């Protein structure tokens, strides 16, 4: 491609915002400039190029035990390894697309294995909390149109989701809910003063590990109780009283929480407390609570897994029907406990979140890794196959952090296979039923 081309309405899958209003100018097979992309996305898009007429025997395409291989050889070995595996793990899925995620589940089902997405190392405690106490949700569009108070709790979107504020919470859309007619009142609750905290109208600094205590105190205040102590989790009582009043007196509030709240021991109780705070606030006004998702299509993996197995992650299909058990069937657990004898990774973005023990197992068992771009892996896979990136080389669908499906368009051509093609090849060639 030598001429200049401009692609509009491109969606970015680098983070859970899945911004779909980007314009990319492509010159000489490279993204030369971007419009509406954040700095992270700009740098990311500039890594890609058309992949045409390359040497298919090069290491860029396919390797077997670190050596360049033909795709046919790799697939043949892959089918043999999968057919011989007694209890395989299928892991990843967050950079795939709906069809690839569906096929990965089909393969795990056929093999009687375990399937898990990178959600199990991210917002898994949040899902457990939703299942216990329910959740009050909305689309990001509704937040943009209606919220007059926004809280980020344990989240620093200026760095992790750079356009979240501009697109959804601080965009200055004129709505009847906002008394100043411009922007929602921004509150940040965190253990350190982050860049987002510096931009906030109100920053509430809490002691590390005290989220539950602060949330419980807030719940009491919203319910009309009086607090007896002077200080809760590093926050003065008067500060909590004014925060509770601010939250209870708005027209529409939206609370976004990140891994600062949902990670660590008993994190599901923190998330339960946030969800119950929203329920308490409903006596006064409308509040919604949403997660800040990390990867572009991790929400899609949840949705497709729920649709096909009834559960969002950590699902075992070894008995011929789905069983859900986070802490037992999550990727880290089955790898650490050496309960699986093969791992098929559909996308390698989740590997950095695995524990050292889990990675050690990956270096000892056969591994088949489908990578969407050259990713540094902490082990040498038995088979590594480069596949097209959805939203760059091939169209697809990704689910935004609010579970809204976003169509992905492609702007580069590629000779690489898609993960759908590879999974289909593996599935149809299996020698066991």
Which residues of the chain form contacts with ligand SF4 (CB under 6 A)? 12, 14-15, 17-19, 37-38, 40-41, 161-163
Nearest distance, CB of residue 411 and ligand SF4, angstroms: 15
Distances (CA, A) of 78 to 69, 84, 107, 150, 369: 12, 10, 13, 49, 10
Identify which of residues 219 and 372 has a Cβ nearer to ligand SF4 in the complex: 372
Distances (CA, A) of 193 to 202, 213, 240, 342, 418: 11, 19, 18, 43, 43
Nearest distance, CB of residue 400 and ligand SF4, angstroms: 9
Identify which of residues 317 and 408 has a Cβ nearer to ligand SF4 in the complex: 408
Asked if 302 and 117 touch (Cβ cutoff 8 Å), the reply is: yes
Identify which of residues 14 and 334 has a Cβ nearer to ligand SF4 in the complex: 14
Nearest distance, CB of residue 104 and ligand SF4, angstroms: 23
Distances (CA, A) of 329 to 89, 116, 119, 315, 359: 9, 8, 13, 6, 16
Nearest distance, CB of residue 377 and ligand SF4, angstroms: 23
Considering only the C-alpha atoms of the chain, give the largest distance between any 2 of them, rounded to a whole number of Å: 72
Alpha-carbon gap, residue 121 to 127, rounded angstroms = 12
Query: What letter would DSSP give residue 398?
Result: E
Quickly count: other Cβ atoms within 10 Å of residue 319's Cβ: 8
Identify which of residues 104 and 406 has a Cβ nearer to ligand SF4 in the complex: 406
Dihedral sign computed on CA atoms, order 350, 398, 418, 88: positive
Nearest distance, CB of residue 45 and ligand SF4, angstroms: 9
Backbone angles phi, psi at 159, to 5 degrees: -100, -40
Alpha-carbon gap, residue 312 to 63, rounded angstroms = 32
Nearest distance, CB of residue 134 and ligand SF4, angstroms: 28
Nearest distance, CB of residue 162 and ligand SF4, angstroms: 5
Distances (CA, A) of 288 to 49, 253, 309, 424: 40, 6, 27, 40
Alpha-carbon gap, residue 27 to 3, rounded angstroms = 6
Nearest distance, CB of residue 406 and ligand SF4, angstroms: 10
Asked if 91 and 301 touch (Cβ cutoff 8 Å), the reply is: no
Identify which of residues 19 and 386 has a Cβ nearer to ligand SF4 in the complex: 19
Identify which of residues 154 and 157 has a Cβ nearer to ligand SF4 in the complex: 157
Nearest distance, CB of residue 38 and ligand SF4, angstroms: 3
Residue found under tokens 């090069």: 58
Identify which of residues 167 and 268 has a Cβ nearer to ligand SF4 in the complex: 167
3-state secondary structure (DSSP) of residue 191: coil
b/e 91-116 (16+ beta carbons within 10 angstroms → b): bbbbbbbbbbbbbbbbbbbebbbbbb
Identify which of residues 14 and 426 has a Cβ nearer to ligand SF4 in the complex: 14
3-state secondary structure (DSSP) of residue 153: strand
Alpha-carbon gap, residue 259 to 208, rounded angstroms = 13
Backbone angles phi, psi at 398, to 5 degrees: -125, 150
Task: Output the 3-class SS for 210-231.
Answer: CHHHHHHHHHHHHCCCCCCCCE
Identify which of residues 219 and 400 has a Cβ nearer to ligand SF4 in the complex: 400
């Amino acid at each position: 491609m030598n001429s200049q081309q401009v692609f509009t309405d491109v969606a970015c899958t680098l983070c859970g915002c899945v911004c779909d209003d980007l314009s990319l100018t492509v010159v000489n097979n490279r993204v030369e400039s971007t419009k509406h992309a954040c700095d992270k996305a700009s740098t990311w898009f500039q890594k890609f190029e058309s992949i045409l007429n390359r040497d298919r025997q090069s290491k860029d395409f396919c390797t077997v035990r670190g050596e360049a291989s033909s795709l046919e050889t790799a697939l043949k070995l892959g089918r043999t390894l999968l057919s011989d595996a007694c209890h395989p793990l299928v892991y990843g899925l967050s950079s795939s697309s709906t069809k690839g995620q569906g096929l990965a589940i089909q393969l795990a089902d056929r093999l009687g294995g375990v399937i898990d997405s990178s959600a199990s190392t991210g917002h898994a405690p949040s899902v457990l909390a939703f299942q216990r106490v329910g959740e009050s949700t909305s689309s990001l569009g509704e937040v943009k149109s209606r919220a007059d108070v926004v809280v980020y709790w344990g989240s620093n979107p200026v760095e992790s989701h750079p356009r979240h504020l501009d697109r959804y919470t601080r965009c200055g859309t004129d709505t009847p809910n906002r008394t100043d007619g411009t922007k929602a009142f921004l509150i940040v609750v965190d253990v350190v003063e982050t860049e987002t905290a510096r931009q906030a109208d109100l920053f509430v600094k809490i002691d590390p590990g005290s989220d539950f205590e602060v949330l419980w105190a807030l719940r009491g205040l919203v319910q009309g109780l009086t607090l007896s102590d002077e200080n809760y989790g590093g926050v003065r009582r008067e500060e909590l009283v004014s925060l509770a009043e601010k939250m209870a007196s708005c027209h529409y509030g939206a609370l976004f929480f990140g891994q600062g709240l949902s990670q660590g021991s008993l994190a599901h109780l923190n998330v339960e407390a946030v969800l119950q705070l929203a329920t308490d606030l409903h006596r006064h006004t409308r509040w919604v609570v949403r997660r800040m998702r990390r990867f572009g299509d991790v929400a899609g993996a949840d949705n497709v897994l729920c649709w096909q197995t009834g559960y969002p992650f950590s699902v075992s299909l070894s008995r011929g029907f789905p069983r859900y058990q986070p802490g037992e069937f999550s990727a880290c657990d089955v790898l650490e406990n050496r309960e699986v004898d093969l791992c098929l990774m559909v996308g390698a973005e989740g590997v950095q979140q695995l524990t050292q023990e889990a990675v050690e197992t990956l270096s000892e068992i056969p591994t088949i890794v489908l990578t969407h771009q050259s990713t540094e892996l902490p082990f040498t896979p038995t088979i590594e196959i480069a596949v097209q990136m959805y939203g760059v080389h091939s169209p697809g669908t990704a689910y935004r952090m609010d579970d809204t499906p976003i169509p992905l368009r492609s702007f580069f051509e590629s000779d690489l296979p898609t993960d759908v093609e590879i999974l289909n090849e593996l599935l149809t060639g299996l020698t066991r039923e």
